[in-house]
Chains A and B, each alone.
Chain A
Amino acid sequence: MAKPKTYTKFRDVQAELERSGSALFRDAEGVESLVIRSPYAINYIHSYAEDTPFFLGLSEGKLRGSKCSSPSCGFVFATPRGHCMVCGAPTGWTDLPTKGRIHSWTTCRFGSEAFLKETPYNLALIEFDGAGSLLLVRLKEAVESDLYVGMPVEARFDPKPKYSITDVWFVPSKPAAPAKKPR
């Protein structure tokens, strides 16, 4: 059996691994290293545990935040959590408004491997009246040049939920149509 093909550029080694699964890398000093492709795939069993009602809520078109149960605190979290970050008391569920404003935003031209096919996509941190913290979401129906801090936005829900945070996304709120003059 022939030796694996030899390359002096690591990029070429990576390409050869895609083709044949093995390659030799030779560095500037002539040292050879044998490199193989080693696949690694897992199906992870991911429980939403105490965050479950939030994800079920998305499938019902609801945005649920957490409200601290302590009367002296009562902090409202737009991203839910089972216990209050401020005072440690348990939280209960509270419906958030489905309209908010952009606190900050970006357009990603890349992403990690699992999301490359979805590029470009917008991310935005949303602030809500009555909540003390924010929610990170995808922002759709808008391009980079449309977006600004403070922009009014509203939630949309996936009619076919995948039970992921991507079941909700936000879009720019349409400005209220100017009242028509009565004839």
Chain B
Amino acid sequence: MVSGGVTKFAKAHPAMDFRLMVKRAYDYALKDATNLTADRIDGSRISYFSDHFTRQLKAASMVQDYLGLNPKGSVRIEWGGATGGECFQAAFEAVASGRMDVCLAAGFETMSRVATWKGNEFIALASDTNFDFPLGGFYTGYYALMVQRHIYEYLRRTRFAGITDEREAQRTAIAEGSRIMSMVSVKNHLNALHNPYAQYPKRLTVADVLNSEMISYPLTREQICTMSDGAAVAILCSEERAKEFTDRPVEVTGVGTGTDTMRLADRPFGKVPLAPNEADYPELPYPGVHSFRAGRTAGLEAYSMAGITDPKKELSFVELHDAYASSEIQTYEDLALCRYGDGYSFVESGAPFLPKIDYGFPTKRAGEIPVNPSGGLIACGHPVGATGLMQAVFAYWQLQGTIGRHFRDPTLQIPNARRGAIHSHAGTGSSVTVSILKRGF
């Protein structure tokens, strides 16, 4: 990767259509690299999630057109919530296969074109329209179902195994899970105070998050990402030519993808595919609805390709798809940052927090493996087709050591960041991509 650019994510950008948003991010990326002009780009991969939101088919062709890249090759990429992550990997493949030397990955979404609850309806069309959508058409409801079972498996049956009244035990476990999810929300919103691209930076307390509006029990408003308008681009290039464009390129050393059933109801109860540093889970029915087998599969493929055997030790940071505070915790486990079942105590340990920031509660092991230092989806926003590329750009700047320049604030720069992972997640976990980026200088 030799350059990147992001528009500020916002609830609505009425003064920019999708073409102009991409153009702004693209111009930023061209300007940020040396000698990088349109004539040196061999082609593009362009991503957006929903034709319903754009109400403009072939919108990717209009981006290609607006950027002045015709008649070069281009393909539109769509892979649900993982659209941006998949676009990044499609550009990687175009370069790695030798088909292109320089490939543009560009993504966008314009979600402000409909009211919020209509937007939820469009998103929920990414659930089975025979069996799932007609029950409420509500993704937050699906994620609430998943975290309820996650809490049951990993808090009720462990920390609260001693409570004999079933209802009381489950209520106590849910309260504990909600408190810990709120710590994740506080982290991501607070980190984003130092990220000028973020949509909802703010200082919150655990109580603020818990007391925000209940959306789908137990998930509250501040534990959920929002609809956004935004665009992001990443420019990938062959290793041989990278130094033409920057003296600080970043190498893509691993890519992985995974899938799972569209319907939660169909998820199997089988065995855990183990990470290299993991012991077996003899009693765990996996993935059930509590874990993301697609995320685990994508992670293991990417780690294997990148030669990573102990991700928590070998990664400097992770930018992961926290559409919900719950799915951030579930994803720690899928990505083997901790064992299955240890996600809640992993948060309490402080490991995914940044050491320089005061979150209002103890974070003893802060800095061990910062997760979503940028603020993640919860605080940055989630313009679907751009999100995975936004993660790539933030990871690129982290590895270059240029966060201070791009954010005009050095707080979020992870000292000596050498290798990071980005994770893009779709549906109820029906497809996930993980890519590993490493400092290339």
Contacts and interface: CB of A to CB of B under 8 A. Distances in A.
Query: Do A and B originate from a single complex?
Result: yes
Interface of A: 10, 13-14, 25, 27, 31, 33, 35, 38, 40, 46, 48, 51, 77-79, 81, 85, 103-116, 118, 121, 123-125, 132-138, 144, 148-150, 164-166
B135 A166 contact: yes
19 contacts: A10-B12, A14-B115, A51-B130, A78-B265, A104-B146, A106-B216, A106-B217, A108-B216, A111-B120, A111-B136, A112-B118, A114-B121, A115-B136, A123-B136, A123-B141, A138-B135, A148-B170, A149-B148, A149-B156
A86 to B, nearest CB: 8
Contact of A134 (B140, B144, B152, B265): B265
A137 B147 CA distance: 17
Contacts of B132: 136, 165
Contacts of A78: 265
A110 B263 contact: no
B167 A135 contact: no
- Among B14, B156, B263, chain A packs the most CB atoms within 10 A around the CB of B14
Interface in B205-235: 213-218
A149 B170 contact: yes
B58 interface: no
A25 B14 contact: yes
B141 A108 contact: yes
Given A110-B117, A110-B138, A31 B15 contact: yes
Contacts of A107: 216-217
A106 B117 contact: no
A164 B134 contact: yes
Nearest to B288: A103
A135 B11 CA distance: 35
Given A85-B261, A113-B121, A103 B289 contact: yes
A13 B115 CA distance: 12
A148 B148 CA distance: 10
A109 B216 contact: yes
A119 to B, nearest CB: 8
- Among B15, B131, B137, B170, chain A packs the most CB atoms within 10 A around the CB of B131
B210 to A, nearest CB: 15
A149 B261 CA distance: 22
A13 to B, nearest CB: 7
B264 A112 contact: no
Interface in B124-171: 124, 129-132, 134-138, 140-141, 144-146, 148-149, 152, 156, 166-167, 170
B52 to A, nearest CB: 9
B131 A106 contact: no
Given A48-B130, A106-B148, A123-B135, A136 B263 contact: yes
Interface in B87-134: 112, 115, 117-118, 120-121, 123-124, 129-132, 134
- Among A48, A104, A118, chain B packs the most CB atoms within 10 A around the CB of A104
Given A109-B214, A132-B268, A166-B135, 8 more contacts: A13-B14, A104-B152, A112-B118, A112-B120, A113-B120, A136-B263, A165-B131, A165-B135
A158 B257 CA distance: 42
B55 interface: yes
A69 B217 CA distance: 39
Contacts of B130: 48, 51, 165
A148 B215 CA distance: 19
Contacts of A137: 135
A133 B145 CA distance: 15
B145 A106 contact: yes
A121 B136 contact: yes
A29 B129 CA distance: 43
A51 B144 CA distance: 27
Given A125-B289, A148-B170, A165-B134, A136 B265 contact: yes
A33 B15 contact: yes
Contacts of A46: 129
A111 B132 CA distance: 13
By Cβ-Cβ distance, the 10 closest A-B pairs, closest first, are A112-B121, A106-B144, A112-B137, A104-B149, A134-B265, A113-B117, A112-B120, A111-B136, A25-B14, A79-B265
Contacts of A124: 145
B280 interface: no
Given A112-B118, A134-B264, A149 B152 contact: yes
A138 B132 CA distance: 10
A40 B141 CA distance: 26
A25 B87 CA distance: 32
B216 A115 contact: no
Interface in B11-28: 11-12, 14-15
A144 B130 CA distance: 26
B149 A110 contact: no
A149 B15 contact: no
A148 B14 contact: no
B240 interface: no
B219 to A, nearest CB: 8
B137 A111 contact: yes
Contacts of A103: 149, 289
A135 B15 CA distance: 45
B134 A110 contact: no
Contacts of A123: 135-136, 141, 144-145
- Among B11, B129, B265, B269, chain A packs the most CB atoms within 10 A around the CB of B265
Contact of A109 (B120, B146, B215, B263): B215
B266 A79 contact: yes
Contacts of A149: 148-149, 152, 156, 170
B138 A111 contact: yes
